[in-house]
């Protein structure tokens, strides 16, 4: 059967012959609902079918069928991605793992958890907290994003400046390969050096090399942390960037160091009425979590560095409610801005010393292209998220936003940065990723893809 001969009806019948009927969605409205992630500005097509798998065996059956039929499989978690990595292209089946939601094992003695790919990040964190353990990676979407999607994109989060990103915690995984075979990668021991690190290769591969159906994640002890917050307000984004660079240069390692600009603060406060400070061009939200005198000294040092960088005001807080309120503003910034119009989300990462310069270039780009750009950032590791807002239905503004997006990517690379810090390449970042990697390294990517997926079944056209 040629690709052109496939119809949605044919594919649905074939899938229902190998899966329970309720696993397959074939109505146009269902297929439209699963056609793309939250990066709606990226290309997408209506998939031929949607599968809501419940087991690894079902995932493997779908992949085998697709390979034999010459169809593509697009893996999907919660659909909360911002790069188009879960967008369906032509002749594709969207394979959702959202119903694979078991926390299989929490091993307290060895400090790891085994979870299916559809477990929500926050649900996993709560499950291990009940055993006195902690899973640090906390993307802003932690209440809705799945642990499998986090692994597929190597998600970061607010506390990754100190505690690392998803790859730093993935010990092993179960993966369905492009021929439908199921393999287990990695280990459950504290150390391991057997063979190539294929687990790390799969993390961040965006479903192009295999479909992750289960992960084994390292955990930390929950206790022993005593959070203090330091919040600085600044008259300009550049001044806030100077403070970020100074904190990094001083060797102080905060547990979080986040930046939100005035537009973000105003959008969140008008929506949620949190009583946030308004009027400054930027807020730096910092926490330290060392206990006792060490933590107090670290907080005082950060406060001094903010003042030296020209902060308009610096406040310190130790009450959990105050800390949660301020960081809620950071987590709510993206949905608050979405209320103002469609948002094109950047995800660049520059050396920390280059943060002031990059913030200035973002401001200049907004002026040059006559677009509105709000900025939020994991500033402590140089990961900036300029959010370009275009009014609904304004085609000219949308085109200017796309040009601004590309200029920001170019400026990031010129400053020694990388075009994606945590959202993945997906579709939106393909030109920037190709320029960053260069032809020889791209050839290495193609060779790896061809070795593991010679038919191009798994999420073709994404990531590189």
Domain 103-221: assigned CATH number: 3.30.465.10
Distance separating alpha carbons of residues 327 and 337, to the nearest angstrom: 16
- Torsional class of 224: left (φ above 0), alpha (ψ -120 to 50), beta (otherwise): left
Cβ 288 vs Cβ 339: under 8 Å: no
**Do residues 24 and 93 make contact, with C-beta atoms less than 8 angstroms apart?**
no
Q: Domain ranges in the chain?
A: 3-96, 103-221, 224-330
Q: Tell me which architecture the domain covering 224-330 has in CATH.
A: 2-Layer Sandwich (3.30)
**Residues 196-210: what's their mean pLDDT?**
98
* Whether 265 contacts 240, CB under 8 Å: no
What would be the CATH architecture of the domain defined by 3-96? 2-Layer Sandwich (3.30)
When pLDDT is cut at 50, 70 and 90, the band that residue 122 belongs to is: very high
- The per-residue pLDDT for 274 is 84
What per-residue confidence (pLDDT) applies to 92?
Answer: 98
For residues 352 and 31, give the distance between their C-alpha atoms in angstroms, rounded to a whole number: 42
Q: In the predicted model, is pLDDT for residue 1 greater than 60?
A: no
Contact 404, 343 (CB under 8 A): no
Q: Sign of the CA dihedral 100, 39, 420, 240? A: negative
CB 86 within 8 A of CB 36: yes
Specify the pLDDT at position 320.
Answer: 86
- pLDDT exceeds 80 at position 375: yes
Is a pLDDT exceeding 50 seen at residue 403? Answer: yes
What is the average pLDDT score of the chain?
95
Quick check: 408 pLDDT over 60? yes
Least confident of 3-12, 233-242, 402-411, 448-457: 3-12
What number is the average pLDDT over the span 396-412? 96
Interval 319-360: pLDDT, tens:
888 888 878 888 899 899 999 889 999 999 999 999 999 999
Identify the pLDDT of residue 167.
98
Give percent of the chain with pLDDT exceeding 70.
99
- pLDDT of 2 reads 43
- Of 415 and 324, which is predicted with more confidence? 415
User: What percent of the chain has a predicted confidence (pLDDT) above 90?
Assistant: 89
HEC profile of the chain: CCHHHCCHHHHHHHHHCCCCHHHEECCHHHHHHCCCCCCCCCCCCCCCEEEECCCHHHHHHHHHHHHHHCCEEEEECCCCCCCCCCCCCCCEEEEECCCCCCEEEEECCCCEEEEECCCEHHHHHHHHHCCCEECCCCCCCCCCCEHHHHHHHCCCCCCHHHHCCHHHCEEEEEEECCCCCEEEEECCCCCCCCCCCHHHHHCCCCCCCCEEEEEEEECEECCCCCCEEEEEEECCHHHHHHHHHHHHHCCCCCCEEEEEEHHHHHHHHHHHCCCCCCCCCEEEEEEECCCHHHHHHHHHHHHHHHHHCCCCEEEEECCHHHHHHHHHHHHHHHHHHHCCCCEEECCEECCHHHHHHHHHHHHHHHHHCCCEEEEEEEHHHCEEEEEEECCCCCHHHHHHHHHHHHHHHHHHHHCCCECCCCCCCCCCCHHHHHHHHCHHHHHHHHHHHHHHCCCCCECCCCCC
pTM as predicted: 0.94
**The pLDDT of residue 386 is above 50:** yes
Burial of 292 (0-12, 13-18, 19+ CB in 10 A): exposed
Tell me how long the chain is: 464
* Exposed/middle/buried for residue 346 (C-beta within 10 Å: 0-12, 13-18, 19+): buried
Work out the pLDDT band at 141, boundaries 50, 70, 90: very high
Per residue in 252-303, pLDDT (tens digit) is 899 999 999 999 999 999 999 888 877 899 999 999 999 888 999 999 999 9
pLDDT at position 191: 93
For residues 92 and 324, the model is more confident at 92
pLDDT given for residue 3 in this prediction? 45
């Amino acid at each position: 059967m040629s690709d052109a001969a496939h119809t949605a009806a044919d594919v649905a019948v074939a899938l229902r012959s190998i899966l329970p009927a309720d696993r397959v969605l074939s109505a146009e409205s269902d297929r439209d609902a699963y056609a793309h992630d939250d990066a709606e500005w990226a290309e997408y097509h209506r998939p031929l079918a949607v599968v809501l798998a419940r087991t690894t065996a079902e995932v493997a059956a779908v992949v085998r069928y697709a390979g034999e039929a010459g169809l593509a499989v697009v893996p999907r978690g919660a659909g909360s991605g911002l790069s188009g990595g879960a967008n369906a292209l032509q002749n594709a089946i969207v394979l959702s793992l959202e119903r694979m939601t078991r926390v299989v094992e929490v091993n307290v003695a060895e400090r790891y958890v085994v979870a299916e790919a559809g477990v929500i990040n926050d649900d996993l964190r709560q499950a291990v907290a009940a055993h006195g353990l902690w899973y640090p990676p906390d993307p802003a979407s932690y209440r809705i994003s799945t642990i499998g999607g986090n692994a597929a994109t190597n998600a970061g989060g607010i506390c990754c400046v100190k505690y690392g990103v998803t790859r730093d915690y993935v010990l092993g995984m179960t993966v369905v390969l492009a021929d439908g075979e199921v393999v287990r990668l990695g280990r459950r021991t504290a150390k391991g050096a057997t063979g190539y690190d294929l687990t790390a290769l799969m993390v961040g591969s965006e479903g192009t090399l295999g479909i992750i159906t289960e992960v084994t994640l390292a955990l930390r002890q929950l206790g022993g942390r005593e959070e203090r917050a330091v919040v600085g307000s600044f008259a300009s984004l550049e001044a806030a960037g100077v403070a970020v660079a100074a904190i990094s240069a001083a060797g102080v390692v905060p547990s979080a160091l986040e930046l939100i600009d005035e537009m973000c603060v105003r959008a969140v406060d008008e929506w949620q009425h949190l009583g946030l400070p308004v009027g400054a061009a930027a807020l730096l939200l910092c926490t330290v979590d060392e206990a006792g005198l060490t933590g107090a000294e670290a907080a005082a040092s950060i406060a001094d560095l903010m003042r030296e960088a020209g902060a308009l005001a610096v406040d310190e807080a130790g009450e959990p409610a105050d800390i949660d309120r301020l960081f809620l503003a950071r987590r709510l910034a993206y949905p608050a801005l979405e209320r103002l119009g469609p948002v094109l989300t950047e995800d660049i990462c520059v050396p920390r010393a280059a943060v002031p310069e990059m913030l200035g270039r973002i401001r200049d780009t907004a002026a040059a292209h006559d677009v509105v750009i709000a900025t939020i950032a994991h500033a402590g590791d140089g990961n900036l998220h300029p959010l370009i807002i275009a009014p609904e239905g304004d085609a000219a503004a949308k085109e200017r936003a796309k040009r601004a997006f590309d200029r920001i990517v170019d400026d990031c690379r010129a400053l020694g940065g990388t075009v994606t810090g945590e959202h993945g390449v997906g579709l939106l970042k393909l030109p920037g990723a190709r320029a960053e990697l260069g032809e020889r390294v791209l050839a290495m990517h193609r060779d790896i893809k061809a070795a593991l997926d010679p038919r191009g079944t798994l999420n073709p056209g994404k990531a590189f």
